[in-house]
Amino acid sequence: MEYHALHKKAVACMRLSEIIGWGVLLLILGATRLVLLFKHILLPLWPDLCLLGLVAFAVLFCLLVPPVRYRRYRYHIDPEQVVVVEGLWFISRSIAPMERIHQISVKSGPIDRLYGLAQVEAVTAGGKVTIRFLEKQVADEITDFLQQRIKHIVTEQGQQGSEVGTHA
């Protein structure tokens, strides 16, 4: 099975998402610390050291994690199934058989659009498989392929159903 890798822009998109997420958390914690400081509420040294340690961890996380996630993220699409392999600590493999897919959508958040990326979501009765960090053109091509394949499967099943009905 041949897997496809993501475009290099995916690393920058992942990194910016992490920076925003960590930035919001650290901003809230830092603002809380400043409010306590301005209200002259004295704290021991360890909360400040913990906050400093969290800042260092966030910086390392934003630098090191996106390239690891990028290297582990793979997807495969063939006429029978959609497969996505992803993860940081735990690697998961999601599989959606073509005949089970009943809805396909292309989504693009503000950070994705900044990098010209999108995600394709294939929904089945049992869940969904999402291929993230795709170039917009690739996402559209995948969506077209999936729609054509599903249309073909539905047409095939309709013909088989009519053949069964005539022989009964």
Q: Give per-residue burial for 67-91: e unless 16+ CB within 10 Å, then b.
A: eebbeebbbbbeeebbbbebeeeee
Instruction: Kindly report the number of other CB atoms within 10 A of residue 118's CB atom.
Output: 23
Q: What is the DSSP string of 34-91?
A: HHHHHTT----HHHHHHHHHHHHHHHHHHHHHHHHHHHH-EEEE-SSEEEEEE-SSS-
33 vs 125: CA distance, rounded Å: 47
CA 112 to chain centre: 11
pTM over 0.95, yes/no = no
Q: What is the pLDDT along the chain (168 residues), one digit of tens a residue?
A: 899 999 999 999 999 999 999 999 999 999 999 999 998 888 899 999 999 999 999 999 999 999 999 999 999 999 999 999 999 999 999 999 999 999 999 999 999 999 999 999 999 988 899 999 999 999 999 999 999 999 988 888 877 766 655 554
